[in-house]
Chain A
């Protein structure tokens, strides 16, 4: 040991002495090779050390190097790095060549990093610059269309709502299919904490502009190091860190405005009266009642004191009758502004990154508003040669004035169903119609404008994401890193409903106040040793470590009624504390992991990793799981037969196989439980609440991935092709049990499903030179199929139309097949589809009274067959233009949530979509819309009639920017002034009839939301946002 010590001291001393003795000062300028523009902020680093600097505004730098033998590495984002040996030079000017997808780029892997060239697993990287300043509240929304095989559906246009992200398909049925999110090494809290209908999105506490890069671990080789958490993919978010050199300041301000992308056509006043007259007449005809009979539906609708007279506030058929298009009231113009500042810099010993952001955004649906204040400080400090310590701390306060769930009368979009003759304002009170003291029973349903004006629901979350690390370099090759992270999420939700809401909130007759507090405390530690060694043509890498996570969620709630007046809104003034609760839940993970990488002569790549995971969520009989993976790569372009090929510049084959797990099924699913929530009339009660399963364990996903990475013409054309097969078995399933047991479901590991697909990425530099044009395309196809769920039938969603069944994709729509309209009488028809004895299917039709005898059939997949994105960037001189489309194809959307009321042949009094005007009449016998029949089901039963194609192509973002010439900018001591205009969702191409094809209603149970996708329920459309921004750097 003493010898080693002496040797170390000698080495350190000599290094120090040599550095001291022969220091050389180098200066120079870094430019881009194709247009000779200077590159401010390029990194100049002494190879093999942490010594480095950055170029200033005119691209010049100055650095002292220890010796002539030193090697300087020049790098800049989007450029090929260059290494230059100093030699005798003192001035080194460098031209960097551009490279849109650099193979030598560093990619973050779990517990380490690797250069892209050497990867054997599938990791998609999205750079922070690609998503910066996008006017979406959360980073997952920004990922949409950016990476192959990552399907993002924002679900609704409400701000800060939960979003569906599927990486390589749905891997689960009853467990979550959302990926694991890891920020700077720490798995963060992403679960929904909403108490107001619709999920909240804890990812909206993260400022996207703080992100350096996002890596998405898609295959088993990349994911296995996250073991039982990785089956749905892992999203690694790395925040920006400081760079040594001058302090760079960047300030960005953007201002914009949003409005809803699309509307749906509903009947106007005249059409409404005509249509419902017809519907009521038809019903009376069927009932054999004279339309003049006071008990007839016609009189109910049109007669004196009837529906129209009442709901038009007496204006029907008078000169005062006017038209009121209620849907328009639901929308508003949503201004937004965002101010960002970022500072980074430091010395070679201590580097910092500091940022702050204020975002203030109004939604496109009335009443919706979000503002966020966030700050981040990332510090790195080289305490000793052998010790590096650092801290990342992100703080955020998010205020979200939220909207109710889609299936609430107070959902503003439901105004579309209100009678177009009902005035917006009650002329007697001057208040929104239905506001006391006026008649509360108009309009037809509760007027959401009342809750906009007289109620509020604000969720305020405070987030602290802090991660400290210490890294010890025992030797150049052997390192130990310890990370300790804390993710604190405190959320307060405060709702107050004034007495005016009485019709919708029955216990608000003297005010209702609600207050929810949720505290999620999530600790995590990672401790691992890594060893990297290059010996001749062999290079080794090894990582060995453990991690432990514990998360606790505490929740408390109080509600009060009987307020002295609406001036008192806090529960302190509530005479009756009407409800209250507090709960706590915990989960823990203890994990051990290891990884080995081996590379021979830059040609042959081998990697193996494994993780052992233990969790409190699993039964005592199977508490620990083992998740191994192996992968290999072969760089053909390093072989002699391709090395000198001047067309193919890079070619790598890679393959991986391994297993990952999914443990996201909530806490304590394995226990047989009694719950104490069965009180009655103030007496305490308990009930059996859950059936036990001590054998319960994770779902295991075995994934095979084959990939080719290629580059042509010096990588001007490069890309990746992947084929994968993901087989999940031991599905955690809420298995239906007969209700006669007193239970509905039991969680068990039952069944198998499969996802397989292709991913295709292509990046091209179409034009280089002064006018540059780059294209980047990603397309993925995924085929999802439930192989075996032991005959279980799992259904949910809108009238149980979403199903999980063998041989079909998860969440397939399953319903009776609509056969159109009988031209003879206007009856809705349905195909029987019952099997005949000879094995054929009975394609005869039945009408409404035979509906029960029609067999349901698989009627479309809510998961898209293809998802993709295409980005084109153009630049010329100081101008740059970025045009990004994303799209999905081959998925179906269920419009029944809206259609059963509003495209329903006038079954209820709800205003109808304009297409119902095409209803059957003797004069219009050939139509697809059945005869209108008031309060009589004629075709509004659940059927394929309401299942539409959901494919769309969307101009997701378009940004045009101009950088003022550096000559001009540097004169006022600036590095950069940039002005830009940007648009989100500028155009949407789709055949979907509803508001927005990017839809997933929040109106469902937590269980159903996991598989019942693609449902529309008066769901808010996405916003179209236009922005103007300015960015300065100095």
Chain B
């Protein structure tokens, strides 16, 4: 009997143990993530979220490459060749883009991921230590403003093509997302509204940001971006003054050697040269340089080089350089194709702005305005030419300034926008052809009925 009692009580207590003991075991917390309610409680929390903004900005479909190569492929007129099987890039190259183009979709998505992270930071500024608050706000606004600027350039009619106030731009979202309701189905704001937001963010950033800030955004990064915005708007005075401010700050110097500007990991162990105003830092652990992915290629005798070798440089481009131009020989032909040497480095930083652009912008703006703020256009152009080991010229024209800009900044993401703001052509396509604008991703149209598709994609 004792045995049975023992058995019964054993069974009973085991049963009870499992019933009672297990109940609270269902509260399991994740180990790699934290609840959003605790995520933004301290100054440190907001600071690391700001780092998250840079992480998003560095995404391959944002400033990690897609912003730049989309401009180069769409703006290409026979200077680039394309091979390989990335249909999304080939569509841009052929200017026959489908609504399902995955680069368009990813660029849209990851840009807004970046914006949402910035909005999280900006919503929690009150938690930030006072001595850091201005800088943090400035950085987040710089990133947000920059991303809106790139989005409106890629997905909307360019500034001045018709009525900016009625041309659809992109939706503006300025608050962090916590829940999703129908209120999140936001229509496109006008091009003018987006530009206004960009200017508001960037001018605020410029006043908030410090002059130096290691690898992060500075006052001059904001100025450099502002100079681009003004240039797109043909506000040459604004562009000139911002560029001039960057040049005269003395924070940046032109690299004596054009070649040493690129391949920062192979040449400099990862640090950007003093000419860079702002760049996306790539390390062995983190970040991908997608310019390297598509423009780069593996060179057997240069360890550390890689790339798919999809975007090739055709003779038409190379023939544009004058003899003796170091930029004209900055190519390599390891196969039957020729590649630029700018992006061979697997872990090279991705340039966003460098000082040479400021000289070229100031020269162009001064020339158009007939002024010589900072320096004459001729002097600025000769600074660039001298560095390229070319003889100085004695006169400049708008055409020669733009050509210098094209050669100096080749493949760095300027081509399409330089064509658009100068109302040029891409082959037979006029600057305002709908084929030079990315479609609003089909997926986004599907989930947000308030979005209007771009012309030519319906």
Contacts A439-B300, A690-B33 given: A941-B98 contact, CB under 8 Å?
yes
A687 x B7 contact (CB < 8 A):
no
B281-307 contact mask (Cβ, 8 Å, vs A): 1 or 0: 101111100000000011010011011
Contacts of B18 in A (CB 8 A): 525, 527, 546, 548
Contacts of A685 in B (CB 8 A): 48-52, 54-55
- Which listed segment binds A: B108-116, B353-361, B388-396? B108-116
Pick from B39, B109, B186, B441: contact of A688, CB below 8 A: B39
A681 x B215 contact (CB < 8 A):
yes
Residue of B nearest to A677 (CB): B32
Contacts A295-B316, A682-B285, A686-B39 given: A744-B25 contact, CB under 8 Å?
no
Pick from A676, A683, A910: contact of B33, CB below 8 A: A676
A435-454 contact mask (Cβ, 8 Å, vs B): 1 or 0: 01101111000000000000
Most buried by B among A529, A614, A677, A737: A737
Contacts of B285 in A (CB 8 A): 578-579, 682
Cα separation A741 to B284 with both chains bound (whole Å) = 31
Pick from A579, A690, A736, A739: contact of B108, CB below 8 A: A739
Pick from B102, B177, B439, B443: contact of A742, CB below 8 A: B177
A527 x B30 contact (CB < 8 A):
no
Cα separation A231 to B35 with both chains bound (whole Å) = 30
A674 x B54 contact (CB < 8 A):
no
Contacts of B51 in A (CB 8 A): 678-680, 683-686
- Asked if B325 is at the interface (CB within 8 A of a chain A CB), the reply is no
Contact-residue size bin, chain A (C-beta under 8 Å from the other chain): 35 or more
Cα separation A677 to B298 with both chains bound (whole Å) = 30
Taking CB atoms and an 8 Å cut-off, the chain A residues in 610-625 that contact chain B are 614-616, 623
Contacts A680-B286, A685-B49, A795-B443 given: A738-B55 contact, CB under 8 Å?
no
A588 x B25 contact (CB < 8 A):
yes
Taking CB atoms and an 8 Å cut-off, the chain B residues in 420-458 that contact chain A are 439, 441, 443-444, 446-448, 456-458
Cα separation A851 to B442 with both chains bound (whole Å) = 14
Most buried by A among B100, B281, B283: B100
A307 x B336 contact (CB < 8 A):
yes
- Asked if A697 is at the interface (CB within 8 A of a chain B CB), the reply is no
A614 x B26 contact (CB < 8 A):
yes
Taking CB atoms and an 8 Å cut-off, the chain A residues in 668-705 that contact chain B are 668, 671-692
Pick from A442, A546, A672, A679: contact of B15, CB below 8 A: A546
Taking the closest CB of chain B, its distance from the CB of A696, in whole angstroms, is 14
B186 x A686 contact (CB < 8 A):
no
B284 x A507 contact (CB < 8 A):
yes
- Asked if B83 is at the interface (CB within 8 A of a chain A CB), the reply is yes
- Asked if A911 is at the interface (CB within 8 A of a chain B CB), the reply is no
A936 x B94 contact (CB < 8 A):
yes
Contacts of B19 in A (CB 8 A): 546, 592
A935 x B336 contact (CB < 8 A):
no
- Asked if A743 is at the interface (CB within 8 A of a chain B CB), the reply is yes
B108 x A691 contact (CB < 8 A):
no
- Asked if B309 is at the interface (CB within 8 A of a chain A CB), the reply is yes
Q: How many A-B residue contacts, CB cutoff 8 Å?
A: 286
Cα separation A8 to B7 with both chains bound (whole Å) = 15
Taking CB atoms and an 8 Å cut-off, the chain A residues in 888-912 that contact chain B are 900-901, 907-910
Residue of B nearest to A736 (CB): B447
A686 x B52 contact (CB < 8 A):
yes
Contacts of A681 in B (CB 8 A): 54, 215, 281, 283, 286-287
Contacts of A525 in B (CB 8 A): 18
B184 x A737 contact (CB < 8 A):
yes
Cα separation A849 to B120 with both chains bound (whole Å) = 42
Most buried by B among A386, A550, A667, A742: A742
Contacts of B34 in A (CB 8 A): 673-674, 676
- Asked if A799 is at the interface (CB within 8 A of a chain B CB), the reply is yes
A679 x B447 contact (CB < 8 A):
no
- Asked if B85 is at the interface (CB within 8 A of a chain A CB), the reply is yes
Taking CB atoms and an 8 Å cut-off, the chain B residues in 164-182 that contact chain A are 171, 173, 176-180
- Asked if B126 is at the interface (CB within 8 A of a chain A CB), the reply is no
- Asked if B37 is at the interface (CB within 8 A of a chain A CB), the reply is yes
Pick from B58, B184, B303, B307: contact of A680, CB below 8 A: B58
Contacts of B314 in A (CB 8 A): 295
B109 x A744 contact (CB < 8 A):
yes
B130-156 contact mask (Cβ, 8 Å, vs A): 1 or 0: 000000000000000000000000000
- Asked if A586 is at the interface (CB within 8 A of a chain B CB), the reply is yes
A527 x B87 contact (CB < 8 A):
no
- Asked if A963 is at the interface (CB within 8 A of a chain B CB), the reply is no
A310 x B335 contact (CB < 8 A):
yes
Cα separation A241 to B47 with both chains bound (whole Å) = 62
Most buried by B among A1, A561, A578, A678: A678
Cα separation A737 to B184 with both chains bound (whole Å) = 8
Taking CB atoms and an 8 Å cut-off, the chain A residues in 843-892 that contact chain B are 848-849, 851-853
Contacts of B49 in A (CB 8 A): 685-687
Contacts A675-B33, A686-B52 given: A5-B1 contact, CB under 8 Å?
yes
Cα separation A584 to B298 with both chains bound (whole Å) = 37
Residue of A nearest to B58 (CB): A680
Taking CB atoms and an 8 Å cut-off, the chain B residues in 83-124 that contact chain A are 83-85, 87, 90-91, 94, 96, 98-100, 102, 108-109, 112-113, 115-117, 119-120
Residue of A nearest to B456 (CB): A852
B23 x A510 contact (CB < 8 A):
no
Taking the closest CB of chain B, its distance from the CB of A634, in whole angstroms, is 36
Cα separation A908 to B99 with both chains bound (whole Å) = 21
- Asked if B73 is at the interface (CB within 8 A of a chain A CB), the reply is no
Contacts of A441 in B (CB 8 A): 297-298, 309, 334-335
Cα separation A975 to B58 with both chains bound (whole Å) = 71
Contacts of A910 in B (CB 8 A): 85
Taking the closest CB of chain B, its distance from the CB of A757, in whole angstroms, is 31
Residue of A nearest to B33 (CB): A673
Contacts A616-B27, A901-B85 given: A741-B54 contact, CB under 8 Å?
no
- Asked if B56 is at the interface (CB within 8 A of a chain A CB), the reply is yes
Contacts A546-B15, A590-B22, A691-B180 given: A585-B55 contact, CB under 8 Å?
no
B287 x A590 contact (CB < 8 A):
no
Contacts of B223 in A (CB 8 A): none
Cα separation A434 to B284 with both chains bound (whole Å) = 25
Contacts of B82 in A (CB 8 A): 935
Residue of B nearest to A481 (CB): B11
B55 x A742 contact (CB < 8 A):
no
Contacts A441-B334, A506-B306, A740-B184 given: A671-B35 contact, CB under 8 Å?
yes
Taking the closest CB of chain B, its distance from the CB of A220, in whole angstroms, is 24
30 inter-chain pairs at a CB distance below 8 angstroms, sorted by A residue, are A5-B1, A5-B4, A310-B335, A311-B336, A386-B7, A436-B300, A439-B335, A441-B309, A474-B7, A502-B298, A506-B306, A506-B346, A510-B303, A546-B19, A548-B22, A586-B31, A616-B27, A676-B33, A681-B215, A685-B52, A688-B39, A688-B117, A690-B33, A740-B444, A742-B112, A742-B117, A742-B176, A743-B177, A800-B100, A908-B83
Q: A506-B307, A671-B30, A685-B51 are in contact. List 7 more A-B contacts (CB 8 A).
A: A676-B48, A685-B52, A686-B45, A690-B33, A742-B117, A742-B119, A851-B98
B residues in contact (CB < 8 Å) with A: 1, 4, 7-8, 11, 14-15, 18-19, 22-23, 25-28, 30-37, 39, 45, 48-52, 54-56, 58, 78, 81-85, 87, 90-91, 94, 96, 98-100, 102, 108-109, 112-113, 115-117, 119-120, 171, 173, 176-180, 184-186, 215, 281, 283-287, 297-298, 300, 303-304, 306-307, 309, 314-316, 334-336, 346, 439, 441, 443-444, 446-448, 456-458
A residues in contact (CB < 8 Å) with B: 1-2, 5, 294-295, 300, 305-307, 309-311, 386, 436-437, 439-442, 472, 474, 480, 482, 499, 502-503, 506-507, 509-510, 525, 527, 529, 546, 548, 550, 561, 576, 578-579, 583-588, 590, 592, 614-616, 623, 667-668, 671-692, 736-744, 746, 793, 795, 799-800, 848-849, 851-853, 900-901, 907-910, 935-937, 941-942
Q: Top 9 closest A-B pairs, CB basis? A: A742-B116, A506-B306, A685-B51, A678-B52, A674-B39, A310-B336, A616-B28, A681-B281, A685-B52
